[in-house]
Structure formats: structure tokens, C-alpha cells
Amino acid sequence: MPFQGEKRKYDRKEVMAFPGFRPGVYGIFKDGVALFVGNSGDIKARMLRHVSNDNPNITANEPNIWYAEVMSGQGQAAIEARQKQLIEEYKPVCQ
């Protein structure tokens, strides 16, 4: 099942507009190609690190889109299971 969430431009402004302290999964893409799928207890904080070049492998691929799927109240096990499902579906190149 694809990401359940809004497609967003991969830049600091878009990440800053995302509400803080939302747990769930996120995906980083370049022109429809998955670069990375992750999970975090605070998607915004994690994405801020990504757009600040915390992972040179992602940055080198020039991402232009990201998705966030908020999973409040579902627990870490459910979040990790969803991340695994998305990794299997998209096969990110920087995973």
C-alpha cells in the first residue's frame, strides 16, 4: 500500500510547515524513485536533519519530494511494521 499522506516538496520550508511531535513513517524520493524510508517519534525533527544533509547518500541523489504518514497512538511496533512494508514496496536506493 503506497504512502498515506500528502506529497511535499523536499526543502526546509516544507519541513518547517509540518507539525512537530508526530510519530510515524516518512519517505524521501527523487522523481518517483524512493531514496529512503524511515520512521521517527518526531517526523519533523528527523526530516529537518535530513534536509540539513545528515545523510550524504540521500543528498547526493538530489531528493525533491517527501511523504509523511502520521501514526499517532499506534505504537512503535506498528510503526516499524509499516516502515518494513514500505521498504519492501519501494525498495529505496539509499536504505
Q: How many domains does the chain contain in total?
A: 1
Q: What is the pLDDT of residue 8?
A: 98
In a domain, 41, yes or no: yes
The answer to whether 88 and 24 are in contact (CB under 8 A) is no
The full DSSP string for 18-45 is SPSS--EEEEEEETTEEEEEEEESSHHH
Q: Find the domain containing 42 and state its range.
A: 7-90
Over residues 29-86, the pLDDT tens digits come to: 999 999 999 999 999 999 999 999 999 999 999 999 999 999 999 999 999 999 999 9
Residue 22 phi/psi, 5-degree rounding, is: -110, 120
In a domain, 17, yes or no: yes
Name which of 9, 38, 12, 7 is nearest 25 in CA terms.
Answer: 38
In a domain, 95, yes or no: no
* Residue 5's pLDDT band (cuts 50, 70, 90): confident
Please report, for the domain that includes residue 63, its CATH number: 3.40.1440.10
